[in-house]
């Protein structure tokens, strides 16, 4: 019924199995469908046992990027940084041919004890959502770091200067005397 074909990325719900079989369609016959998983495994599924089909690569796909931000961060700044990144992503040489339009910042997805999770989504060419997601995560990390927003669990940059231990009051006098003797 043309629900999927060779090369499509699909998730097939099979009767008697709790989790769907996911993979790239390698062969379709009257009796079986063969899928290759992301790990390289080959699934052979009897067509009569397929109860639900999800085609993950029909027409377009969506990359979903969840971005953990520390609760201490100014969310207005985070929003500005991520909106700018989304608008510029379409011009990225690695993303330009894979994106159908500019990624969209959906906003706060969830709140946890020490993080606020933001979500960005991007419409991509079929089957390219994983590649786009990986590249967008790199760009997000870089943009937030440049803006001074550190990831949860990452140490904040040190702002105050710490005196060198050898620069105690007595040591400082010795240094001044040595410099005046020159």
Confidence at residue 182, expressed as pLDDT on a 0 to 100 scale: 62
In this structure, the dihedral spanned by the alpha carbons of residues 76, 80, 81 and 83, taken in order and rounded to 10 degrees, is 130
Instruction: Tell me the CATH class for 9-55.
Output: mainly beta
Confidence at residue 154, expressed as pLDDT on a 0 to 100 scale: 63
Profile the chain (182 residues) by mean pLDDT over runs of 10 residues.
86 93 94 94 95 89 93 95 96 96 95 94 91 97 92 56 52 64 64
Confidence at residue 88, expressed as pLDDT on a 0 to 100 scale: 96
Q: SS3 breakdown of the chain: % helix, strand, coil, rounded to 5?
A: 25, 30, 40
Give Cα 39 distance to the centre of its chain: 20
Confidence at residue 6, expressed as pLDDT on a 0 to 100 scale: 86
pTM confidence score: 0.67
Give domain limits for the chain: 9-55, 61-146
Q: Would you state the CATH architecture of domain 61-146?
A: 2-Layer Sandwich (3.30)
In angstroms, rounded to a whole number, what is the distance separating the alpha carbons of residues 98 and 104? 15
Confidence at residue 161, expressed as pLDDT on a 0 to 100 scale: 44
Counting Cα atoms < 13 Å in the Cβ hemisphere of 10 gives 27
């Amino acid at each position: 019924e043309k629900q999927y074909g060779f090369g499509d990325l699909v998730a097939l719900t099979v009767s008697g199995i709790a989790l769907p079989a996911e993979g790239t369609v390698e062969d379709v016959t009257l009796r079986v469908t063969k899928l290759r998983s992301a790990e390289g495994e080959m699934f052979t599924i009897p067509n009569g046992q397929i109860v639900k089909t999800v085609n993950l690569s029909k027409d377009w796909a969506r990359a979903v990027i969840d971005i953990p931000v520390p609760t201490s961060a100014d969310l207005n700044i985070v929003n500005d940084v991520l909106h700018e990144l989304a608008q510029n992503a379409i011009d990225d040489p690695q993303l330009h041919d894979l994106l159908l339009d500019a990624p969209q910042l959906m906003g706060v997805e969830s709140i946890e004890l020490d993080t606020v999770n933001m979500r960005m989504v991007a419409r991509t060419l079929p089957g390219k959502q994983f590649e786009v997601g990986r590249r967008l995560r790199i760009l997000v990390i870089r943009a937030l770091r440049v803006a001074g927003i550190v990831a949860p669990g990452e140490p904040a940059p040190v702002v105050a200067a710490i005196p060198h231990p050898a620069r105690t009051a007595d040591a400082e006098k010795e240094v001044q005397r040595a410099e005046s003797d020159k």
